[in-house]
């Protein structure tokens, strides 16, 4: 079992990034899951950690020396060390209890509905939580297709998958064993369901498009806020420069004894000039080292998401993005809103260009 004395803790977004990258790579040739003991045999810790680090640093993580066990080990390492909120933990445990308390006819449906509920929540973190669950079982289902060769039945895979969830949900040794047994059974039930054979982005195509549009809207709003912040700081710098110029004039008057009321105003004015110069340097430093790099990063993310969105939706618009909220539109209502969508899109584009200029 993969573990470190001081393991790196990963955010949900980082775990999703790792899962997506490795899934896309492994599923290019599903026969890789024929390897005996797949999912059960742990990869080399160093290799698995290197794969994770390479993915998160946008480096090439594909290497001929890595085995399928190294890649699946990287997934396990990321998942079991994921940051999980109390709300997520409670939801997972509740779903698990509901599955085990239900009849065999509805058990599979409960798990599928839970994932759909997470994906359809409109909340980015819950969406990713649902994606993590789906991708794990999507990969495990491919392993199950080759159970005659890899010796990994749904029961064997269930035993392996159970700890994936328990390690991130519970740390109390007294509760871990009981929870692990129940999640092992739930994992086996989920693996016997054919809901997870289709790729995630095909099964939840509309939901993926929705989340991309929501993310783009959020990034564009953040971009506008940063542009305004930079404009405010630029205005402050101009005001400070004017203040410095005024102080220098007053200082010159003092030196010519035009102003002299017995107070050491010269030192006060000099101190004011130094203070304002330092504030200008600080504002420029913030803009150069923080605001501008962040703005450039946001713009890169916007471009990346728009490219992905364009590929995913093709020429079809499935959503109407209202300025205050986002609403899913069914295909039957699509024609009705198409003209309004184009108008809203153009208005928003013009507004963004205005701030960028």
Query: pLDDT digits over 300-335, tens only?
Result: 989 988 988 888 776 444 433 433 333 333 344 334
Please classify residue 249 by burial: count the beta carbons closer than 10 Å to its beta carbon, then call 0-12 exposed, 13-18 middle and 19+ buried.
Answer: exposed
pLDDT of residue 108: 73
Q: 106-165 pLDDT, tens per residue?
A: 777 888 888 898 899 888 888 998 999 999 999 999 999 999 999 999 889 988 887 777
Q: Say whether pLDDT at 292 is over 70.
A: yes
Within 8 A by CB and 6+ apart from 158, the residues are 184, 185, 186, 187, 188, 189, 191
Residue 237: its H or E element: helix 205-255
pLDDT of residue 84: 78
Q: 241-253 pLDDT, tens per residue?
A: 999 998 888 888 7
What fold, for 12-203? Phosphatidylinositol 3-kinase; Chain A (1.10.555)
CA dist., res. 68 & res. 49, Å (int): 14
CA angle 40–45–49, rounded 5-degree value: 115
Q: 184-214 pLDDT, tens per residue?
A: 888 888 888 778 889 998 999 999 999 999 9
Domain boundaries, the chain: 12-203, 208-314
Model confidence, pTM: 0.70
CA dist., res. 212 & res. 124, Å (int): 10
CA dist., res. 119 & res. 198, Å (int): 15
Look up tokens 């290497």; give the residue.
63
Q: Six-digit token pair at 159?
A: 């035993």
């Amino acid at each position: 079992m993969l573990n470190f004395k001081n393991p790196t803790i990963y955010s949900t977004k980082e775990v999703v990034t790792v899962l997506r990258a490795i899934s896309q790579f492994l599923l290019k040739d599903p026969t890789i899951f024929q390897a005996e003991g797949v999912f059960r045999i742990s990869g080399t810790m160093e290799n698995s950690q290197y794969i994770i680090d390479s993915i998160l640093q946008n480096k090439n993580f594909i290497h001929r020396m890595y085995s399928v066990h190294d890649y699946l080990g990287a997934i396990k390492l990321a998942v079991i060390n994921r940051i999980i909120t109390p709300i997520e933990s409670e939801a997972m445990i509740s779903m698990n209890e509901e599955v085990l308390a239900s009849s065999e006819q509805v058990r599979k449906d409960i798990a599928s509905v839970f994932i759909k509920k997470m994906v359809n929540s409109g909340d980015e973190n819950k969406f990713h939580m649902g994606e993590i669950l789906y991708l794990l079982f999507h990969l495990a289902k491919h392993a199950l297709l080759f159970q005659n060769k890899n010796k990994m039945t749904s029961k064997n895979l269930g035993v392996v998958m159970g700890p994936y969830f328990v390690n991130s949900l519970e740390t109390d040794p007294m509760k871990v064993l009981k929870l692990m047994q129940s999640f092992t059974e739930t994992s086996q039930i989920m693996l016997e369901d054919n809901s997870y054979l289709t790729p995630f982005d095909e099964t939840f195509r509309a939901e993926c498009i929705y989340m991309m549009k929501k993310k783009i809207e959020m990034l564009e709003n953040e971009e506008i806020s940063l542009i305004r912040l930079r404009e405010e700081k630029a205005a402050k710098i101009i005001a400070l420069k004017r203040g410095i110029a005024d102080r220098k004039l007053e200082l010159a008057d003092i030196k010519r004894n035009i102003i002299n009321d017995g107070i050491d105003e010269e030192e006060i004015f000099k101190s004011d000039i130094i203070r304002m110069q330092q504030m200008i340097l600080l504002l420029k430093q913030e803009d150069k080292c923080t605001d501008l790099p962040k703005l450039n990063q946001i713009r890169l993310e916007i471009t990346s998401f728009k490219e992905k969105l364009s590929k995913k939706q093709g020429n079809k618009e499935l959503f109407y993005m209202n300025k205050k909220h986002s609403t899913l539109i069914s295909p039957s209502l699509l024609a009705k809103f198409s003209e309004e969508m184009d108008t809203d899109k153009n208005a928003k584009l013009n507004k963004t260009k205005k701030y960028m200029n």
